[in-house]
Amino acid sequence: MARAVIVGGGGTGDAAAFALRKRGFEGDIVIVSADSDRPYDRPYLSKEFLRGEIERPKVFLHDERDYTKERIELRLGERVTGGSLQERKLFVEDGADLAFDVLVLGLGGTPRRLPEIPTAENVLTLRSLHDSQAIRESLGRSSRLLLIGAGFIGAEVAASARRLGKEVLVVEALPVPLQRALGREVGEIYARIHRDHGVEVRTGAKVEHWHAEGDRVVGISLSDGKREDADLVLVAVGIEPNLDLPRALGLPIEGGGVRVDEGLRAADGVYVGGDIALHQHPVLGRSIRVEHWEVAKGHGRGIAAAIAGGHAPYTKLPYFWSDQYDVNLEYRGHASGDDTAVWRGNREGLSFSVFYLRNGRVEGVLSMNDSGTNEMGGKLIESRRVFDAAALESADLAELVESPSAG
Ligand SMILES: Cc1cc2nc3c(=O)[nH]c(=O)nc-3n(C[C@H](O)[C@H](O)[C@H](O)COP(=O)(O)OP(=O)(O)OC[C@H]3O[C@@H](n4cnc5c(N)ncnc54)[C@H](O)[C@@H]3O)c2cc1C
């Protein structure tokens, strides 16, 4: 009987394991994860769990008995360091080799550390449940949080800390928050939202000097010479995809990830999903690597479909959301800063969508408190039809979706 080994107990790995069983895979399923906790819902870690609104049991994706019932073996706190694809085996740190017939990798990433940032007891990063617990406890004892980086994690933690009544200073090297992900104009809107909620946002700023007392950072001096105090620091400057294992296995590494085909396959019987997968997306017609929760879970399910049913292209569009204060952001597709932006809705009232067009095709749709439009936008992306940017600004979207000749 075939044995599927899944390395990584995150969004990809957990979804792959349960979907494999659902699709009738009868062989052994083993999840090996370096994390000592069973798979959990990572997005809670910067939001509800961090704020103490939910506790650990609510964060886990499944009860322990679900793994027993589905005959999924969980090997937690074990790290895979290498292996041989030819001999179909993996090397487990401090353990015996592990044989597989089919291999799934969903390894996620490790928070980036900048060399100039000192190592100190109160300088933290956020990726795991353990990290979130530590930040939650430290926040409880702190009054002023310094966030280095205004990406999604930084922005969400800023919003959470404000809700807990903490003072928050965000230092971002770029001119606006979330610029890389959302472009300048939407980034400016986010900066305004955070400022309106009492966050001090210092953009285009650099830390010149770190002030420490013992093994704690107590403040920074910024490039403008101003000193700022803080009793907790969170460094949120993105992740490094975990590529050591794929490299050791000789898998193709490209564009910061592992190159996989349309069906998420990196080599014969080896599938890769989530943050580390550079996927040849069949609908968008190009390779994309996306660091989002729904994508990781979707990849897990897509990999299970491919294993159970032979070659199966994974066609779902990337989707993500972010909640900050009472602002809900949704994004479908995959656009870049150079694409033409078509705005619809009420910018001032924070209920709008932005369509990103390349050569007339919609590549991505971002929506703020405008979920219905986002969903329709997804259908326009999938249609791969060519639209006129000016017409799209005011067109009846439902009609466009319904009628292929409109637009
Ligand atoms: C705090 C936080 C909030 C987020 N919020 C959102 C959100 O609101 N919306 C959204 O779309 N996305 C969000 N994300 C991103 C999302 O969680 C990730 O994109 C997703 O978890 C990626 O899934 P994955 O399976 O690729 O990796 P992960 O979920 O990171 O899982 C990787 C697993 O692999 C294990 N591992 C790594 N290397 C090895 C090895 N060599 N041997 C054994 N095990 C190994 C790790 O321990 C881990 O368990 C958030 C991320 C964080 C950190």
Burial 29-55, CB ≥16 within 10 A → b, else e: bbbbbbbebbbbbbbbbbbbbbbeeee
Q: What is the pLDDT of residue 338?
A: 79
Question: What is residue 60's DSSP assignment?
Answer: B
pLDDT at residue 248 is higher than 90: yes
Q: What pLDDT sits at residue 310? A: 79
Tokens read off for 202: 């210092």
Identify the pLDDT of residue 404.
62
| Parallel, antiparallel or unpaired: strands 123-124 and 144-148 | unpaired
Spacing, Cα 50 to ligand 1 middle (Å): 16
pLDDT at 131 over 80: yes
56 burial (CB, 10 Å; 0-12 / 13-18 / 19+) is: exposed
What percent of the chain clears pLDDT 70, i.e. is strictly above it?
99
- Picking from 401, 319, 323, 333, the residue whose alpha carbon sits closest to that of residue 369 is 323
> Does residue 367 contact residue 327 with C-beta atoms inside 8 Å?
no
Å from CA of 265 to ligand 1 middle: 19
At what angle are helices 184-196 and 152-163 packed, to 10 degrees?
20
**Strand ranges of the sheet holding 144-148, from the earlier edge strand across to the other edge:** 123-124, 232-235, 144-148, 167-172, 200-203
User: What pLDDT band is residue 38 in, cutting at 50, 70 and 90?
Assistant: very high
pLDDT at 323: 84
Confidence of residue 1 (pLDDT cuts 50, 70, 90): low
Contact 104 CB / ligand 1 (< 6 Å): no
User: Does residue 45 line the site of ligand 1, with CB under 6 A?
Assistant: yes
Confidence check: pLDDT of 406 > 70? no
For ligand 1, whether the C-beta of 211 sits within 6 Å is no
Which tokens go with 18? 């349960």
- Per residue in 282-301, pLDDT (tens digit) is 999 999 999 999 999 999 99
| pTM score of the predicted model | 0.96
Compute the distance between CA of residue 131 and CA of residue 99 in angstroms, rounded to an integer: 32
Domains present along the chain, CATH in parentheses: 3-110+239-309 (3.50.50.60), 113-235 (3.50.50.60), 326-402 (3.30.390.30)
Q: Strands 265-267 and 109-111, how do they pair?
A: unpaired
Contact 173, 183 (CB under 8 A): no
What are the pLDDT digits (tens) for 185-222?
888 998 999 999 999 999 999 899 999 999 999 999 99
Is 293 close to ligand 1, i.e. is its CB under 6 Å away?
yes
CA of residue 389 to ligand 1 center, whole Å: 36
Pocket lining: 80 vs ligand 1, CB cutoff 6 Å: yes
Residue 401 has pLDDT above 90, yes or no: no
Is the pLDDT at 223 greater than 80? The verdict is: yes
- For 62-112, what is each residue's pLDDT tens digit? 999 999 999 999 999 999 999 999 999 999 998 899 999 999 999 999 999
pLDDT per residue as tens digits for the range 152-195: 999 999 999 999 999 999 999 888 888 877 888 888 998 999 99
Write out pLDDT tens, residues 297-349.
Answer: 999 999 999 999 877 899 999 999 988 888 999 999 999 877 899 999 999 89
Residue 105 CB partners (closer than 8 Å, separation 6+): 6, 7, 8, 245, 246, 258, 266, 270, 271, 272, 273, 276
**Res 225: pLDDT:** 86
- The predicted pLDDT at position 405 comes to 57
Cα–Cα distance, 76 to 81 (Å, whole number): 15
Q: Is 32 in the pocket of ligand 1 (CB under 6 A)?
A: yes
Choose among 22, 16, 32: nearest CA to 74. 32
**Running DSSP on this structure, what letter comes out for residue 275?**
G
Q: Which residue's alpha carbon is at the smallest distance from atom 3 of ligand 1?
A: 43
Average pLDDT score, the chain:
94
275 in contact with ligand 1, CB cutoff 6 A: yes
